[in-house]
Amino acid sequence: MKTIDQMSLREKIGQMFVTGFPSKELSADMKEVIEQYKVGNMILFSHNIDNKYQLGGLVTELQQWFTTHTGIPGFITIDQEGGRVTRMPKDATNVAGAMAIASSGRPENAYAAGRITARELKALGINFNLAPVMDVNNNALNPVINVRSYGDSAQKVSEYGISMMKGLLDGGVMSSLKHFPGHGDTSVDSHIGLPTIDKSLEELEQLELLPFKAAIEQGAEAIMSAHILFPQIEKSGVPGTMSYAIITELLKEKLGYKGLVISDCMEMDAIKRYYGTAKGALGAVKAGIDLVFISHTPSTVKEAIHLIEEAVAVGELDEAIIDAAVTKILAYKAQYVVTEDLDYEIVGCDVHRRANELMRTETICRTNGEIEPIQTGDEHVLFMGSYSYRTDLASSSVNQEISFPQYMGEHFQATYEVIDIDPNEEQIGAALQKARGYRHVVFGLFNARENKGQLALVQKLLSADCKVTAITLGRPYDLALIEGEYYGIAAFEYTLDAFKSLIPILNGELDPTANITIQL
């Protein structure tokens, strides 16, 4: 592996960037930034992935390009948190998300989730997982963190987050905590806006910083910054990622953190819209960020590299800052970027799948009421709900690949009805008409706080003396918005794995053992 003394300025800057491309095959743009701009790292998304064999082949090709054109193998990064945020294919083992795992009451489940995830990532050549989330979800209205957090207390987030971190590290994959200094107390999604947390350092020290401090003491090796304004700490009007006061003075100096500091994606609107992605990247490096993510557009990486080169040339940026960052990057690559033969048999193996199914069953929460077990073929049961949709990256497209009511209806050989994500009065009336004659309606809620037609329909079903089982397939807080007597279940995510975990609960084979407090 090439050493820093053998590298040109461009080669060093290239090691500080991570980018991606929108296809399942290595794109011409990606090849160009590796070959000409010496970019040394890659981030994977679902749009890059088809199945484990295709993914392994893509990673192998990427590493060949990195090694040939930079002299150094690359970080292959991925957001594989579990639950709502998963990128691995269907033939891999996708574990439950943070809040679900914490509801099980067993920190060992967080460790197991991290270890299983790491083994499968490493088996495909992926060496850097952008997880776990260490944000304390102390704002129930948070649109972007919510179920990605282990909970609303610093103690729970610390305990479960560190357990997952250790599982990842013990499995041989680098782990990054996120989003420093805390994204939990926001009501704006930084993918599509610029959040503000108007708290003093003393207030952050009492809550948000506690999980990060605990994880640093337990050997955290990478921490991701948050694109959030903290006006009481950084008065210049730039977000945490671009703040010297937050990244260097607080994280590195006050907290004594010596590991790798990485940015969240600089193409998120919190940066792109208000500061510009390339200028934001330069600002991040000045602030003390070691590894900058421009996750989707290789051409924008070129612009950022040119800006950094110019800043060094005119004395605006000290090359020693780049040298310090690259020294850390190369040290971690020597530890984690190990080129081994891929092992497809580990990915989605029976041992992992059985362990995951058991963990997932332990995450299903009963919030109130008593269930009426559902028998296969019961003609008096109606399953109802909408499709899911993406709420981040400014996308609200409906996902019609899976349907909760259809899946459950077909499994239990019962009637089902797919409704609109936010039914209007006419659609609510039609759904009520459909529900007549059914004793029991099992309703799958998804983002009901924003789509109040779902709540209105549930309330009308209850007013009609219909027995309702309400299941949240996302934020559990939706259950707190229902008035009346109903049976409540929190399942945390709209996935086939979650649906399967619900079956033994709904048919009465298992009694839910998980626990969560639902309050707004």
What digits encode the pLDDT tens for the residues 202-226?
999 999 999 999 999 999 999 999 9
Q: Is residue 356 part of a domain?
A: no
pLDDT, tens digit, for every residue of 46-75? 999 999 999 999 999 999 999 999 999 999
Which amino acid is located at 376 in the chain? T
186 falls in which pLDDT band (50, 70, 90)? Answer: confident
What confidence tier does 519 reach under pLDDT thresholds 50, 70, 90? low
Are 88 and 172 in a shared domain?
yes
pLDDT at 393 over 50: no
pLDDT, tens only, 349-360: 999 999 999 999
Give the integer Cα–Cα distance in Å for 443 and 458. 8
Number of domains in the chain: 2
Q: Is the pLDDT of residue 140 over 90?
A: no
Please state, in angstroms and rounded to a whole number, the distance separating the CA atoms of residues 206 and 426.
49
Return the HEC string of 389-452: ECCCCCCCCEECCCCHHHHHHHHHCCEEEECCCCCCHHHHHHHHHHHCCCCEEEEEECCCCCCH
pLDDT, residue 391, reads 45
Tell whether 304 and 426 lie within a shared domain: no
What's the sign of the alpha-carbon dihedral 187, 191, 193, 196? Answer: positive
The candidate with the shortest Cα–Cα distance to 210, out of 295, 152, 263, is: 152
In this structure, the answer to whether residues 241 and 314 fall within a common structural domain is yes
In terms of domains, do 56 and 203 share one? Answer: yes
Q: What is the CATH number of the domain that holds 281?
A: 3.20.20.300
Give a yes or no: residue 72 inside a domain.
yes
Split at pLDDT 50, 70, 90, the class of 395 is: very low
Please check whether residues 73 and 142 belong to one and the same domain.
Answer: yes
Q: Note the pLDDT tens digit of each residue in 17-39.
A: 999 999 999 999 999 999 999 99
Looking at the domain assignment, is residue 511 inside a domain?
Answer: no
Which of 299, 317, 336 is the C-terminal boundary of a domain?
336
310 dihedral zone (left: phi>0; alpha: psi -120 to 50; beta): alpha
Is position 441 within any domain?
yes
Whether the per-residue pLDDT at 392 is higher than 60: the answer is no
Tell whether the model's pLDDT for residue 398 goes beyond 50. Answer: no
Q: What is the CATH number of the domain that holds 396?
A: 3.40.50
Establish if 347 belongs to a structural domain. no
Q: In this structure, are 406 and 468 located in the same domain?
A: yes
In a shared domain, residues 270 and 372: no
29 is catalytic: no
Residues 173/336, Cβ–Cβ less than 8 Å: yes
**Beta-bridge partners for 128:** 77, 174
Range of the domain at 477: 364-506
Render pLDDT for 469-490 as a digit per residue (tens, 0 to 9).
999 999 999 999 999 999 999 9
Instruction: Provide the pLDDT for residue 397.
Output: 45
pLDDT at 390: 52
Does 55 share its domain with 113?
A: yes
Domain membership flag for residue 413: yes
- The predicted model gives 236-262 an average pLDDT of 97
In 3D space, the residue among 174, 177, 171, 175 whose CA is nearest the CA of residue 115 turns out to be 171
Same domain for 311 and 212: yes
State pTM to two decimals: 0.94
Do 401 and 277 belong to one domain? no
CA-to-CA distance for 204 and 214, rounded, in angstroms? 14
Catalytic residue among 69, 179, 191, 411: 191
Looking at residue 367, its pLDDT comes to: 86
Residues 328 and 411 occupy one common structural domain: no
Q: Which of 264, 290, 478, 497 is catalytic?
A: 264
Catalytic residue flag (residue 191): yes
Would residue 456 count as lying in a domain?
yes
Task: Please check whether residues 115 and 25 belong to one and the same domain.
Answer: yes
Predicted local distance difference test score (pLDDT) of residue 142: 74
How confident is the model over 9-24, as a mean pLDDT? 97
Per the domain annotation, does 70 fall within a domain? yes
Token digits for 153?
């207390």
Q: Residue 183 — very low, low, confident or very high, per pLDDT cuts 50/70/90?
A: confident
* Band (401; pLDDT cuts 50, 70, 90): confident
Mean pLDDT along residues 144-156:
92
